[in-house]
Amino acid sequence: MAELIKMPRLSDTMEEGTVAAWFKKVGDKISEGDILAEIETDKATMEFESFYDGTLLYIGVKEGETTKVDQPLAIIGDKGEDYKSLLEEAINTDEVEEEEVKIEEAPIVEEKIEINLDEKKVEAPKTTAIEKTPATKAATLPNKDRIFISPLAKKLANEKGVDINQIKGSGENGRIIKSDVENYISSGVKSKTFVGVEDFQETPHSQMRKTIAKRLSESKFSAPHYYLTVEFDMSNAIIIREQYNSIPETKISYNDIIIKACSLALVANPRLNSQWFDDRIRYNNHIHIGVAVGVDEGLIVPVLKFVDQMSIVDINSTVKDLATRARDKKLTPEEMQGSTFTISNLGMFDIESFTSIINPPNSVILSVGSIIQKPVVKNGNIEVGNTMKVTLACDHRVVDGLTGAKFLQTLRQYIENPITMLI
């Protein structure tokens, strides 16, 4: 019996998918577990395997094409089996659902016009305040950026390659006339004309790019963001990292130290380990930290689970593994879900400080800048120091300013005294 395979929902936010590649063609023998295709979702490109045995009878979405979740993707059945009725049934069902939605979304509005023949009057709906708005008047408002120039002057300027923006008009209301152009030319000011070919490239939005745009737009315009910026002394952190990295086969980064410090600071300040939903606030007892990783198509946030139980070395190896597979688009949906706190680090790109948009439904995100050398005051003396700025973006619906400030105070204690994280 033929089986209809629909576009699967491979992530919690996936609404449509793009077939990046087919590994089977129509007529091929299929066994359960065979990889049928590679599907690009909003978060990653993932392999899609068959759950059926049989022959690939039909492919509904070609390579590079996009379709919505639950739309026909392929059909597997017995060789030579008639599958057209199954496909028509699936298509007809989708069409019926679309029509129902359209009927609900487009109610009919009746307008009545009463005509009195005896008095020869027509009773029409009164003009609303919006209809009375003098739109034509607004449309005729003068454009402050417009340059007033006579047709003859404009023609002469074009012939001589003169930039009219450089000419001061002597006519009425500053209008540029022919003599203004002639005087400009005779003054010896030469205008250069550069000739070239306008060129550009366009690519359609990837599923990842569209989802990033949708989710972060919703976050930015719905969550009332505010930002807290502090500067840490990184002298001790530098020493600890050097000591760690002196151990054979042991390497850690500053980001690993920051992740560990954040997990401990969240234990002490649990209100930041929270999430906003339409009908409730969730305060999480577990700590899952999302680490933003840049890829060619956008941003992926793999999640480190139960970070407070990890050592700094464990964090390093886990981050490396997740980041590598993120760039190769080999992360599973489970590895990109469930974060309760997010860190975005651009310090390795020499960005001193920046602000990030909160990753919903989380309540905060920490932006980490680069470590820089600069004069600092210690014990009343000026000396060369190493500092790092971090900015905490908070959703004011969940996290108040005082709560965010206390978290940063705790984070400072761990960052500036990293030995306390090892006790």
How far is it, in rounded angstroms, from Cα 116 to Cα 255? 80
Q: Return all residues near 371 (Cβ < 8 A) that are at least 6 apart.
A: 234, 238, 254, 347, 386, 387, 388
CATH architecture of the domain covering 207-422: 2-Layer Sandwich (3.30)
pLDDT (0 to 100) of residue 97: 52
| CATH 2.40.50.100 is held by the domain 3-98 | yes
Q: How far is CA 394 from CA 3, 150, 308, 357, 362, in A?
A: 48, 56, 21, 9, 9
pLDDT (0 to 100) of residue 95: 57
pLDDT (0 to 100) of residue 273: 97
How far is it, in rounded angstroms, from Cα 27 to Cα 58? 8
Rounded to 5°, the CA angle 223-227-228 comes to 145
pLDDT (0 to 100) of residue 44: 74
User: Residue 134: is the preceding peptide bond cis (ω within 30°)?
Assistant: no
Angle between helices 254-268 and 235-245 (to 10 degrees): 120
How far is it, in rounded angstroms, from Cα 60 to Cα 71? 9
Q: What is the pLDDT of residues 354-393, one digit of tens each?
A: 999 999 999 999 999 999 999 999 889 999 999 999 999 9
pLDDT (0 to 100) of residue 279: 92
Check the CA dihedral 346-347-351-357 and report its sign.
Answer: positive
| CATH 4.10.320.10 is held by the domain 149-192 | yes
Antiparallel, parallel or unpaired: β 289-291 and 341-345:
parallel
Catalytic residue from among 205, 286, 288, 396? 396
Q: In what order do the strands lie in the sheet with 66-68?
A: 45-49, 35-40, 16-22, 66-68
Nearest in space to 305 (alpha carbons), one of 354, 263, 345:
263
Average pLDDT along the chain: 83
pTM over 0.75: no
Q: Would you say 148 and 173 are in contact if contact means Cβ atoms under 8 Å apart? A: yes
Known catalytic residue: 286?
Answer: no
Structure tokens at 284: 């999480």
How far is it, in rounded angstroms, from Cα 361 to Cα 338? 10
How many other C-beta atoms are found inside a 10 Å radius of the C-beta of residue 191?
Answer: 14
pLDDT (0 to 100) of residue 384: 94
How far is it, in rounded angstroms, from Cα 15 to Cα 76? 24
pLDDT (0 to 100) of residue 106: 42
pLDDT (0 to 100) of residue 145: 60
Low-confidence ranges of the chain (pLDDT < 50): 98-113, 115, 117-142
Structural domain spans, the chain:
3-98, 149-192, 207-422
